Amino acid sequence: MENIIIPVADVYETAEEFVLKLDLPGVEKEKINITIQPGRISIKGEVDTTHRDEARLLLREIGLKTYYREFNLGEGIQHQAARAEFEQSVLTVILPKTDAAKAKIISIR
């Protein structure tokens, strides 16, 4: 059976966008799947073993697993403009806000 793990996440927002950061250690960039649709984003990443067949495992805390996590999204996100980066096994997903959802600065005359 597949071992599904929820990856650790950090999320913050600025006036312009939402930023998700997820730890995906051991996942190759090609094995990451990001699906975004109105109201939801899901992120999946598969870990392959790093051990050769003849290994005698004395300690096994890492193991084989699939990372999977979903987030509900509110309105006001430009789905088409979403982008992602992957560095040091941290996946960063940037979700720009629509103009209507951006923080507004109103100057008082």
- Is the CB of 77 or the CB of 82 nearer to another protein? 77
In three-state secondary structure terms, 18 is strand
Residue 25's alpha-carbon distances to 22, 30, 37, 49, in angstroms, are: 9, 13, 25, 12
- Please report how close the Cβ of residue 28 comes to another protein at its closest, in angstroms: 6
The phi and psi torsions of 101 (rounded to 5 degrees) equal -90, -10
- Please report how close the Cβ of residue 34 comes to another protein at its closest, in angstroms: 15
Give contact residues for another protein (rule: CB under 8 A).
4-15, 18-19, 21, 23-28, 50-52, 54-63, 68-77, 88-90, 97, 100-108
- Please report how close the Cβ of residue 35 comes to another protein at its closest, in angstroms: 14
Q: What angle do CA 86, 38, 91 make, to 5 degrees?
A: 10
